[in-house]
A and B are shown apart, each in its own frame.
Chain A
Amino acid sequence: MEVKEKIPLQSIAEIYQTFPGGELMLTTTEKFFKWAQVSSFWPLTFGLACCAIEMMATFASRFDLDRWGMIMRGSPRQSDLLIISGTVTIKMGPRIRRLYEQMPEPKWVLAMGSCAISGGIFRNSYAVVPGVDRIIPVDVFVPGCPPVPEALMDGILKLQDKIKNSKNDYRKVER
Chain B
Amino acid sequence: MNLIAEQIETYKSIIETEGDTLLVNMGPQHPSTHGVLRLVLKLKGEEVVKIEPVIGYLHRGFEKLSENLTYIQIVPLTDRMDYLASITNELAYVLTIEKALKIEVPKKAIYLRVLTAELQRIVSHLVWLGTFGLDLGGALGGGSTLFLYCFREREIILDLFEEFSGARMMYNFNQIGGLRYQPPLDFFSKLKATLPKLKQAFAEYEEMLQENYVFKVRTKNIGVLEVSLAQRMGASGPVLRGSGLAYDIRKAYPYSGYENFEFEIPIGENGDCFDRAKVRILEMKQSLRIIQQALKGMPEGEVAIRPPVRVPTAVKVPAGETYMHIEAPRGDLGVFLVSDGTEKPYRLKWRAPSFSNLAVLPFISNGHKVADVMAILGSLDPVFGEVDR
A binding-site residues for B, Cβ under 8 Å: 44-50, 52-54, 56-57, 60-62, 72, 74, 76, 86-87, 89-95, 98-99, 121-122, 124-128, 145-146, 148
Contacts and interface: CB of A to CB of B under 8 A. Distances in A.
A95 to B, nearest CB: 6
B60 A91 contact: no
Given A61-B148, A89-B57, A125-B60, A49 B385 contact: yes
A85 B10 CA distance: 27
B106 interface: no
Interface of B: 1, 3, 28-31, 35-36, 56-61, 64-65, 68, 76-77, 80, 83-84, 127, 130-131, 147-149, 151-152, 154-155, 158, 168-170, 384-385
Nearest to A122: B60
A94 B65 contact: no
In this complex, which of B36, B83, B168 has the most chain A Cβ atoms within 10 angstroms of its Cβ?
A: B36
Nearest to A48: B36
A53 B56 contact: no
Given A87-B58, A125-B64, A127-B60, A62 B152 contact: yes
Contacts of A50: 80, 83, 169-170, 385
Contact of A90 (B1, B29, B83, B168): B1
A47 B58 contact: no
A126 B147 CA distance: 36
Given A50-B80, A50-B170, A53-B83, A61 B60 contact: no
A57 B155 CA distance: 8
Contacts of A57: 151, 154-155, 158
27 contacts: A45-B29, A45-B31, A46-B29, A48-B35, A49-B35, A49-B60, A49-B83, A50-B170, A56-B131, A57-B151, A57-B158, A60-B152, A61-B152, A62-B155, A74-B30, A74-B31, A89-B60, A91-B1, A91-B56, A92-B28, A92-B36, A92-B58, A121-B77, A124-B65, A126-B61, A127-B59, A128-B60
A115 B309 CA distance: 26
Given A50-B80, A52-B35, A62-B152, A146 B61 contact: no
B84 A53 contact: yes
Contact of A87 (B60, B84, B148, B149): B60
Contacts, number: 102
Contacts of B77: 121
A146 B35 CA distance: 16
A159 B117 CA distance: 38
Contact of B61 (A52, A61, A62, A122): A122
B29 A76 contact: yes
Contact of B151 (A60, A87, A127): A60
A60 B169 CA distance: 16
Contacts of B130: 56, 60
A99 B130 CA distance: 26
